[in-house]
A and B are shown apart, each in its own frame.
Chain A
Amino acid sequence: MNQIVRFTIDGSECMAEKGQYLVDAAKENGIYIPTLCNYTGIKPKGSCRVCTVKVNGRLMTACTTPVSENMDVQNHIPEIDELRKKIIELFFVEGNHFCPACEKGGNCELQALAYRYKIMAPRYPFAFPQREIDATNPKLIKDQNRCILCKRCIRGIQDEKGRTIFAYRKRSSRVEIGIDHKLGKELSDETAMKAMDICPVGALLVREKGFDIPIGERKYDKAPIGSDIEEHNVSSK
């Protein structure tokens, strides 16, 4: 039996099933809470912190917080918006995100969030780290320059026997995602494509699939990320 709970997001009344994660509950109520490491259908991890909201005055990640009765959630307030902007800007300076040269441009969730928050330039100095491109796999190219280590590929991609194909390797600031050499070679076209789609940035690319969609017709060219959720709710901004 599903129990329905009532809670508020930025003062507007919402209803959801008890125990549902806040991000999904907000979505059903037509409110967009931005996410990056979260992906529908994969267990949430709460690592990127972009979905941070204030729940009863405390900062929580909306992708890992279940809704409960009378929860008071603050989402679109200056403090939270500024916090999210800072996180997004940190992603941009931490890696090498050359948007003009990226195959994922226009379809990239990190870029789309920056557009949504109207970031004109990051406030932090660029790190320009030295990172490699792994082009050993016959189907996929792994560009470590663009990887934000969200683990979406690790968590979301398995072969038909349920074995993971991607894994973390190295440690600390050098940590990166590697493709299993043996399993990677046997990747089906379908799984490779799924891996590229699951990657929020342009760190996983299927060979010969870049720049498929012309500029102007890409996912985030015309409407901001999250606007598909918000269009069901006229009152939200």
Chain B
Amino acid sequence: MSKPIVATTSLAGCFGCHMSVLDIDERILDLIHLVEFDKSPINDIKHFTRKCDIGLIEGGCCNSENVHVLKDFRENCKILISVGECAIMGGLPAMRNGIPIRECLEEAYLNGPSVKESNQIKIIPNDPELPIMLDKVYPCHEVVKIDYHLPGCPPRADLIWDALVALITGDELKLPYEVIKYD
């Protein structure tokens, strides 16, 4: 039987969850025996080359590009897993959800202390090339169907490892108390 194929991405995240994947230490050698990687920042494959079995999503959706990538993952992966608080509930980027989008952009580009002097012509970037920001940051499962959630900021490496192994081998996932944390 061929190895299951895993794809990963970081949407509105900080790459901390990807770092936590790498934090499985020497088990990464077992991981490459267990799975193959397709589109992922780890191997720098930019586009899906085939249908994948498992997609790991880090980060929520804060702009149109995030939504596009997430939908692409849903189409190309049999199982999607939200990894980390940002994917599950928006995380720190979602702290802007209580602030109107105009206020956010004005603070970032016009009024913030670090830009006030340098942005004399008062430009808020709006090039068509740039993804459009959403009105608020959305958890992934409010955009597409997500099959599993692994909480944590970042999720503990043991949780990611155990969940992946359980999913691939079909064994029951044991969840010791120490691995479920929201921070």
Interface residues of A (CB under 8 A from B): 92, 96-102, 105-106, 111, 114-115, 118, 120-122, 125-126, 128-131, 145, 215, 221-224
- Cβ-based interface call for B124 (8 A): no
**Inter-subunit contact A128/B182 (CB<8 Å):** no
* A105 and B180 in contact, given A120-B150, A128-B97 (Cβ under 8 angstroms): no
Contacts of A121 in B (CB 8 A): 82, 88-89, 139, 141, 149, 151
Contact of B90 among A105, A115, A126 (CB under 8 A): A126
Say yes or no for B98: interface residue by CB 8 A criterion: yes
Name which residue of chain A comes closest to B88, CB basis: A121
CB neighbours (8 Å) of A96 from chain B are: 95, 97-98
Asked if B148 CB lies within 8 Å of chain A CBs, one says yes
Q: Are B153 and A128 in contact (CB under 8 A)?
A: no
Within 8 A of A (CB), among B68-115: 82, 85, 88-92, 94-95, 97-98
In the complex, what distance in Å separates the CA atom of A120 from the CA atom of B163?
12
Chain A CB within 8 A of B175 CB:
yes
Q: Could you name 16 residue pairs across A and B whose Cβ atoms are closer than 8 Å? A: A98-B91, A98-B95, A99-B183, A100-B91, A100-B153, A100-B182, A100-B183, A101-B95, A102-B183, A106-B183, A114-B182, A118-B180, A121-B151, A125-B142, A126-B94, A145-B98
CB nearest to B87 among chain A residues: A121
Bound form: Cα–Cα A121–B89 in Å: 8
Give the contacts of B128-183 with A (CB-CB under 8 A).
Answer: 136, 139, 141-142, 148-151, 153, 175, 177-178, 180-183
Knowing A100-B91, A128-B136, the reply to whether A105 touches B182 (Cβ < 8 A) is yes
Cβ contact within 8 Å between A128 and B151: no
Assembled-state Cα–Cα distance A96/B175 (Å): 26
Which A-chain residue is minimally distant from B137 (CB atoms)?
A: A128
Decide yes or no: A120 and B151 within 8 Å by CB, A98-B95, A128-B94, A128-B136 being known contacts: yes
A118 to B150, CA, bound (A): 11
Closest residue of chain A to B154 (Cβ to Cβ) is A100
Most chain A beta-carbon neighbours within 10 Å: one of B88, B91, B98, B142? B98
- 8 smallest CB-CB distances across A and B, nearest first, come from A99-B182, A100-B153, A121-B149, A128-B97, A120-B149, A105-B183, A130-B98, A121-B88
CB < 8 Å: which of B89, B95, B148, B181 contacts A115? B181
Name B92's contact: one of A92, A98, A221 (CB within 8 Å): A98
A115–B180 CB distance below 8 A: yes
Q: Which of B142, B148, B181 has the most chain A CB atoms closer than 10 A to its own CB?
A: B181
Residue of B nearest to A132 (CB): B98
Closest B-chain residue to A121, C-beta based? B149
| A227-B175 Cα distance, complex, nearest whole Å | 17
Chain B, residue nearest A105 (CB): B183
Q: Are A115 and B177 in contact (CB under 8 A)?
A: yes
Question: A225 CA to B182 CA in the complex, in Å?
Answer: 15
**Chain A residues, CB < 8 A from B89:** 92, 97-98, 121-122, 126
Most central of A114, A115, A120, A223 by chain B CB within 10 Å: A120
Residues of chain A within 8 A (CB-CB) of B98 are 96, 128-131, 145
Question: Which chain B positions have C-beta within 8 A of A215?
Answer: 183
* A101 surroundings in chain B (CB, below 8 A): 92, 95
Q: Given contacts A121-B82, A121-B89, A221-B181, could you give 9 more A-B pairs where the C-beta distance is less than 8 Å?
A: A96-B97, A98-B89, A98-B91, A115-B177, A121-B149, A122-B89, A128-B94, A130-B98, A223-B177
Flag if A222 contacts B150 (CB, 8 Å).
no
